[in-house]
Amino acid sequence: MREAFPYDSAPGYLIFDRGAQFNEEVIDTVKSFSIQPKRTSFRSPWQNDVAERWVGNCRRDLLDHVIVLNERHLKRLMKEYVRYYHDDRTHLALAKETPASREAVSNSGVGSKIRAMPKLGGLYHRYDLAA
């Protein structure tokens, strides 16, 4: 059985820097979507690059390929993407491993069957040896 996904019950957060464009109107709008706004620390520009890198990956991996129908659809897509990002998407900085780490699978020899597991509605796949 798969262990509980750590972000299933966590409140949504939106991390943004201290730019003037993020005024009270933006903060009120973000809160109206039940999302908790979080600002980066004062004079800490290195914190923003982490958020921007993740947003860029999400846009390139998912949002450039999917038409979002409504807010509920976007929330479902984002939940699936976070799960994919941590469990299945390999990262060069982690030596092509995933943040959640995967079990190593040994090849059982010639003629082994490979099983494709669609992720994000078939946009990506994870491959494993069939039992």
Residues of the chain with pLDDT under 70: 1-11, 104-109, 131
- What ranges do the domains of the chain cover? 45-129
Which residues have CB under 8 Å from 123's CB, separation 6+?
Answer: 62, 65, 66
Residue 12 φ then ψ, to 5°: -75, 140
In this predicted structure, what is the pLDDT of residue 131? 67
How many whole angstroms separate alpha carbon 5 and alpha carbon 37? 22
The predicted pLDDT at position 5 comes to 40
Task: Give the pLDDT of residue 68.
Answer: 92
Tell me, what's the pLDDT at 69? 94
| 12-16 and 35-39 beta bridge pairing | parallel
